[in-house]
Chain A
């Protein structure tokens, strides 16, 4: 279907996959894998591939429960964030924002490596940064997705940005 709009194609694939067509599932995987990987990587860091795989397993396992195929994107995002935080915790990568161990100002290795700076944040802080600053979600939507109150989201975002900024400029 060459003239099909991307969102129409996605809806068609979801419906076919829900009916048991595994070829539609495989096509849907092509659509979803890059997005899920992009969501999981900044949160799960070194466990990014594990998190993306687990998130997609969860997506395909529960695809039948998705009532409105047009809502796929947000539904997948919620699963990916949840799985990325879970995998990051499971790998015991929760590093408190301890800035005392930061290399000196001007250290070329740190200043060039955003991943290193993110590694100094908790998975929850990385998730809130990703949702607000990469995905561009508003505070209420991000709060709903993370299951916290907007006020909590706001203070968490403030702390995450602050920690990130300090680590980045140290």
Chain B
């Protein structure tokens, strides 16, 4: 049986579902957008620009350090809260956390369009858990804003 056995791969949207499964209170908003992956990710991957227009509560994001796929950014929410986010960003994938915030975005090509997924919210410090306030609503608004920008 030296023939190649079947293989499979997890696209970033499936990866986001898997990871969010381990974060209590997390909800993944998934949607199909009718635009190619490259166009969608040019917006979602633009952390200091279009990304802030997609994520509803973010007023400003400034990348202060970037090493390969590792990113560190300062964010200010529309409610005045500040946070230092740390995490990973690569094509189709962005996962950032601060002590109090979590933000996860994924995108994968699907046919002529792109499947996108959002998760995140306010963290319980020292727990893999989110406070489940408005988490679903935020995800839905992110999809609406992204669609409007495309």
Contacts and interface: CB of A to CB of B under 8 A. Distances in A.
Interface of A: 17, 19-23, 25-26, 29, 33, 37-38, 40-42, 45, 48-49, 52-53, 56-61, 63, 114-115, 118, 129-130, 133-134, 164
Interface in B97-111: 97, 102
**What band does the interface of chain B fall in when counting residues whose beta carbon is under 8 Å from A?**
20 to 34
Given A37-B7, A37-B8, A42-B5, A57 B126 contact: no
Can you list the 8 inter-chain pairs with the closest CB atoms, starting with the nearest? A60-B22, A48-B8, A57-B21, A56-B18, A41-B8, A20-B127, A41-B6, A20-B128
A23 B23 CA distance: 11
Interface in B1-50: 1, 3-11, 14-15, 17-19, 21-23
Nearest to B128: A20
B115 interface: no
B6 A48 contact: yes
Residue with the greatest number of chain A CB neighbours at <10 A, chosen from B9, B18, B23, B127: B18
Given A37-B7, A52-B14, 10 more contacts: A20-B129, A25-B128, A33-B15, A48-B7, A49-B8, A49-B11, A53-B10, A60-B23, A61-B21, A133-B1
B8 A26 contact: no
A37 B22 contact: no
B32 to A, nearest CB: 16
Contact of B18 (A19, A40, A57, A134): A57
B69 to A, nearest CB: 10
A29 to B, nearest CB: 6
Main secondary structure of the interface of B (DSSP, over half): loop
A122 to B, nearest CB: 16
Contacts, number: 97
Nearest to A49: B8
Contacts of B21: 56-58, 60-61
Contact of A53 (B14, B86, B88): B14
15 contacts: A19-B126, A21-B128, A22-B95, A22-B102, A25-B22, A26-B95, A29-B19, A33-B18, A48-B8, A49-B14, A52-B8, A60-B23, A63-B22, A114-B6, A134-B5
A56 B9 CA distance: 13
B140 interface: no
A133 B4 CA distance: 12
B60 to A, nearest CB: 22
Given A29-B19, A60-B18, A22 B128 contact: yes
A26 B128 contact: no
Contacts of A45: 6
Contacts of B56: none
B113 interface: no
B7 A41 contact: yes
Given A22-B95, A23-B86, A23-B87, A118 B6 contact: yes
A123 B32 CA distance: 32
